[in-house]
Structure 1
Amino acid sequence: MIKLLKWLSVLSSLGMLFVLIGGALVTKTESGMGCGKSWPLCHGEIIPSNITMELVIELSHRLVSGGVGFLVLLLSILAWRKLGHVRETKLLSFLSLFFLVLQGLIGAAAVKWGQSDFVLAMHFGISLISFASIFLLTLLIFEVDQKFDATSLYIKRKHRKGFYALTIYTLMVVYTGALVRHVNASLVCGGWPFCNNEYPLQFGYYNFLQWVQMGHRLAAGLIFVWVIIQFVIIRKSYSHSKIMSGGWSIALLLITIQVILGAMIIFTSLNLFVALLHALVIACFFSLLCYFVLLSSRSARADKKNR
C-alpha cells in the first residue's frame, strides 16, 4: 500500500503542477473565455464544433484539472485510511482536496458570471496552497517510508517565527504578482529594476498600473533580501542538519532564479515561456517554505510537551 501511495502522491504533485501552470497559461494567453460562458462544457457542446487555440487551451486546462482532481481524491482517501495515525495526514488530505475544489469553483464562477481582477488574482494563490498541501502530503508519505529523517529535527522558536512570517508574506506577494497579470500591468514599466531607469525617483508621475507593478517589485525584492538573511542564519545555526542547510540553499537558489525571471519578463516583453517558468519557480519556493512551517509546527508541539 505504501508503494502505491508513493506513486500516487508523486503523480498528484506533478499533475497539480500542470494544473497550476495550465491556469497561468490560460491567464497569460487570455483564453479564459475560450469556451464562452459555458461550464463544464465548451459553448454548450460536449465536442466543440468551432475549434480555436483559446478553446484548446481552456478545455485542456479543464480536462487536466478534472483528472488531477480524481488523483487527489484517491490519494486523500488512501492516505487518510493508511496514514491517519500520523498527525499531519488528515489535515493535509483535507486541504489538498478542499483548495483544489475551491480553485475549480472560482474558475467556473469566473466563466459563468465574471469576477473582478482582485478576486481573480486570488485564484493563483489558492492553486499554490493546493499544490503545497499535495507536495507536503507526498513528503510525509516518503518520510513514513523512512526515505529520510526529519522527525529528529528541532527548530528554535525565534527561527520558527521567521518561517511563519516569511511564508505568509510570500503568499501576499504572490497575490500582488497575480494582480499585475490580471490588470494587465506586466509591461507598464519599460525599465528594470525601476519603472524608468533614467528618472528612478519620479513616483509622483506613476499611474495606478505602474504602482501595482512597482509595488510588486518592491515586495518581491524584500523576499529576496529576507531569504538571504535567513540563509545566513540557518547555515550558522543548523550546519549539522542536511534538511535545514540543504533546504535553505535550495530556497535561496529558487528565489534568485525568480528575481532573474522577473527581470527577463520585462526584457523579453512578456515571453510566454519565461512567464510560465516564473509561475513554476514560485510554486516550488512557496511549497518549500510550507515544508519548513510543517517542521516548525512539530518543534512547537515538542516545546508544549516539555513544559
Structure 2
Amino acid sequence: MHRKLKWFSVITTLVMLAVLLGGALVTKTDSGMGCGRSWPLCNGEWFPKDISSELIIELAHRLVSGSAAILVLILAIWSWKVIGHKKETKTLAILSITFLMLQALIGAAAVLWPQSKFVLALHFGISLISFAAVFLLTLLIFEVDQRFDTRSLVIDGRMKKHIISLTIYSYAVVYTGALVRHTEASLVCRDWPMCTNGSFTLPNNMYEWIQMGHRLAAGIIFLWIGYLMMLSIKHYKHQKVLYWGWIMAFVIVTHQVAAGAIVVMTSLNIYFALAHALFISFLFGLLSYFLLLLTRNNNKTAEETIENTSNSTVKSSEAIIH
C-alpha cells in the first residue's frame, strides 16, 4: 500500500541526511566562502570558471539543499493528501518545510553578510529539526499498513519527563558541537578527554571553554542515555519500541562519543568528523521519535491498563450470564 510514497519518503530522508553532512563538510573544510559572497550564483556566475575544492564543496552543498527543498515540498503535499487523517502528518509536513526554508535563508545570509559564529552555529540545529520532521513523516507513512502499531504504548510519568528533558538537552549539545566547528575550536585541546597532558585544569581561553564545555555536555548525555537504557531494560521489557529504542540510542551515543574522541586524536580526520555529525543526526531523530510516541501515550499506568482490562472482562461475563 502506497509503495511509491514509501520509496519517495526514504529517498527524501536520505537527501536530508546528505544536507546535514554537506553542511558539516562545508564547515570542516572552511568552504563557506567557496563561491564568494554570491548567492544563489557562484562568484556571480551560473557556471564558475575558476574551480577550487572549496567551490566544489560549497556548490555541491547548495545543489543538494535545493534538491532537498523540492523533495520535501513534494513529500509534504503527497503525505498530506494520502495520510492527512493521521493527526501528526500535517504538523510534521509544516515543520519540515518551514525549518528547511529557514535553514536555506540562514545559509544564504551567512554568504551574503558576515555573521557571528554564535549565529552560524544555529544553522546545523535548524537543519536537524527539518531532518527529524522528514524522518518522522517517513515513519508515519510506513505505519499506514499497520505492520507495527504504537497506539497501545504506555509510558509512565518518569520516563515521559526524561524523554522531554533529554531531547531538549540533546539539542543544546548539538549547538555546542556546532559552535566548536564554527569557532574552529576543534583542536584547541589536543588531548582527550582532558584538554592537556591528561590532567584536569580549567580552560585558559574562550576556545578551550567551548571545547571542554561540549565534551562535558556530551559526557552527560552519554551517562543519561545509559541510565535510561538500564531503566528500559528493567521496566519496559514488554514494550519493545522503548526497550530496543533505548538500547539503540545508547549504541549510537557511544559511537558518537568515540567518533568525537578520534577526531581529536587524528587531528580532525574528515571521515570521523562526518561520522560524528552522522551519529548525532541519528540520535536526535530517534529522540524525536520518542517524543512522537509521547503524543500517543494514553497516560495510564500499566496497573490501570490491567485493571480496566479486568473490569471489561467481568462486565462481558455478566452480560453473557444475563
TM-score by length of 2: 0.91
Instruction: Determine the structure 1 residue equivalent to 2:114.
Output: 114
Instruction: Determine the structure 2 residue equivalent to 1:39.
Output: 39
Instruction: Return the alpha-carbon distance in structure 1 between the equivalents of residues 145 and 300 of structure 2.
Output: 22
Answer with 1 or 2: which has the greater Rg: 2
Tell me how far 1:149 sits from its aligned partner.
1.8
Instruction: Return the alpha-carbon distance in structure 1 between the equivalents of residues 2 and 34 of structure 2.
Output: 41
Instruction: Return the alpha-carbon distance in structure 2 between the equivalents of residues 234 and 290 of structure 1.
Output: 17
Please give the residue correspondences for 1:126-165 in structure 2 after superposition, counting only pairs within 5 Å.
126-165=126-165
Please give the residue correspondences for 1:236-251 in structure 2 after superposition, counting only pairs within 5 Å.
236-251=234-249
**1:195-233, Cα deviation, whole Å (9 max, x unpaired):** 123431x21x52111011001100110000000110011
- The 8 Å contact of residues 31 and 57 in structure 2, kept in 1 or not, is answered as yes
- The 8 Å contact of residues 151 and 297 in structure 2, kept in 1 or not, is answered as no
Instruction: Return the alpha-carbon distance in structure 2 between the equivalents of residues 272 and 173 of structure 1.
Output: 20
Tell me how far 1:297 sits from its aligned partner.
1.7
Instruction: Determine the structure 2 residue equivalent to 1:280.
Output: 278
Instruction: Return the alpha-carbon distance in structure 2 between the equivalents of residues 73 and 147 of structure 1.
Output: 27
Instruction: Return the alpha-carbon distance in structure 2 between the equivalents of residues 300 and 66 of structure 1.
Output: 40
Letter matched to residue 77 of structure 2: I
Q: Which moved more, 1:190-199 or 1:161-170?
A: 190-199
Tell me how far 1:34 sits from its aligned partner.
0.6
Instruction: Return the alpha-carbon distance in structure 2 between the equivalents of residues 40 and 168 of structure 1.
Output: 33
Letter matched to residue 38 of structure 2: S
Instruction: Return the alpha-carbon distance in structure 2 between the equivalents of residues 259 and 295 of structure 1.
Output: 26
**1:75-100, Cα deviation, whole Å (9 max, x unpaired):** 00011111111010000000011111
Letter matched to residue 169 of structure 2: Y
- The 8 Å contact of residues 157 and 300 in structure 1, kept in 2 or not, is answered as no
**1:102-139, Cα deviation, whole Å (9 max, x unpaired):** 10100000000121000000001111111110000000
Please give the residue correspondences for 1:29-108 in structure 2 after superposition, counting only pairs within 5 Å.
29-108=29-108
Letter matched to residue 33 of structure 2: M
Letter matched to residue 241 of structure 1: Q
Letter matched to residue 177 of structure 1: G
Instruction: Return the alpha-carbon distance in structure 2 between the equivalents of residues 215 and 229 of structure 1.
Output: 21
Instruction: Determine the structure 2 residue equivalent to 1:260.
Output: 258
Stretches of structure 2 that go unaligned for 5 or more consecutive residues are 306-322
**1:262-297, Cα deviation, whole Å (9 max, x unpaired):** 110110000000000100000000100000011012
Instruction: Return the alpha-carbon distance in structure 2 between the equivalents of residues 113 and 301 of structure 1.
Output: 49
Q: Which moved more, 1:169-178 or 1:148-157?
A: 148-157
- The 8 Å contact of residues 170 and 284 in structure 2, kept in 1 or not, is answered as yes
Identity of aligned residues (%): 57
Stretches of structure 1 that go unaligned for 5 or more consecutive residues are none
- The 8 Å contact of residues 143 and 150 in structure 1, kept in 2 or not, is answered as no
Q: Which moved more, 1:291-300 or 1:163-172?
A: 291-300
- The 8 Å contact of residues 185 and 210 in structure 2, kept in 1 or not, is answered as yes
Q: CA RMSD in A?
A: 1.4
- The 8 Å contact of residues 79 and 89 in structure 1, kept in 2 or not, is answered as yes
Give the secondary-structure state (helix, strand or coil) at the position aligned to 1:88: helix
Instruction: Return the alpha-carbon distance in structure 1 between the equivalents of residues 136 and 251 of structure 2.
Output: 20
Length, aligned pairs only: 302
Letter matched to residue 50 of structure 2: N
TM-score by length of 1: 0.95
Tell me how far 1:152 sits from its aligned partner.
1.8
Q: Which moved more, 1:143-152 or 1:222-231?
A: 143-152
Please give the residue correspondences for 1:178-257 in structure 2 after superposition, counting only pairs within 5 Å.
178-200=178-200, 202-203=201-202, 206-257=204-255
Instruction: Return the alpha-carbon distance in structure 1 between the equivalents of residues 277 and 145 of structure 2.
Output: 31
Give the secondary-structure state (helix, strand or coil) at the position aligned to 2:87: coil
In structure 2, the CA distance between the partners of 1:302 and 1:78, relative to structure 1 (3 Å rule), is: farther
Tell me how far 1:43 sits from its aligned partner.
1.0
Instruction: Determine the structure 1 residue equivalent to 2:309.
Output: none
